Amino acid sequence: MFKSAIAITLIVAAGAVSAAGTPKAIPPAKQELVQRVLQLWQVDALAQSMLQDPVTDAVGQARAVIQGRVPTERRDAAMRDVAAEAKKFLDENSPVVRASAQKLVPTTVAPMLAEQFTEDELRQIIAILESPVKKKFEALVPDMQKALGEKVAADSRPTIDPKLNQFRERISARLRTAITP
């Protein structure tokens, strides 16, 4: 993170590029504000999410295929293998995506922030991102999601579970049809 902050500082300090492609100097005070917003924004998490979303989708698809095609006694082992492959892929590729984001933020996002926001607006963004109330709320989000998820699942289970099972059976049948010559 420290290296990315230095890189951001150096690139932003060198000036931003406007939409027309001409260099546009950013005042030093505004450069510092842009750098602070970028530090607080957690670009690494965004990059990680961009990588993790398709992996999650692939694991979900594999789970559906495994449930429909793999004998019951081998399903758990097959899912463990899929999960291990997903973890390995994420472990190997997260640094690449993270480095790419850190490399590209200064030439994409930093100029946009500098052009679209005044110094006062950047200070307001920083205040929001640093807010203790925001941090407290974010800390509560997992508990709120869990509590709501449990209640929604319990409330909708009698209606949704039979339909979900029928959906899975239809998908499995379609996969079997597609796979069987």
Domain ranges of the chain: 2-130, 132-181
d(CA 51, CA 58): 12
Nearest CA-CA partner of 179 in 29, 44, 69 = 69
d(CA 8, CA 38): 8
Contact indicator for 172, 68 with CB cutoff of 8 Å: yes
Per-residue pLDDT of the chain (181 residues; tens, 9 = 90+): 433 443 333 333 333 343 444 447 889 999 999 999 999 988 778 888 888 999 999 999 888 888 878 888 888 888 899 999 999 999 999 999 989 988 988 888 999 999 999 999 999 999 999 999 999 998 998 899 889 888 888 888 888 888 878 877 887 777 677 777 6
At 41, list the tokens.
Answer: 């924004």
- The sign of the torsion formed by the CA atoms of 175, 52, 88, 142 equals negative
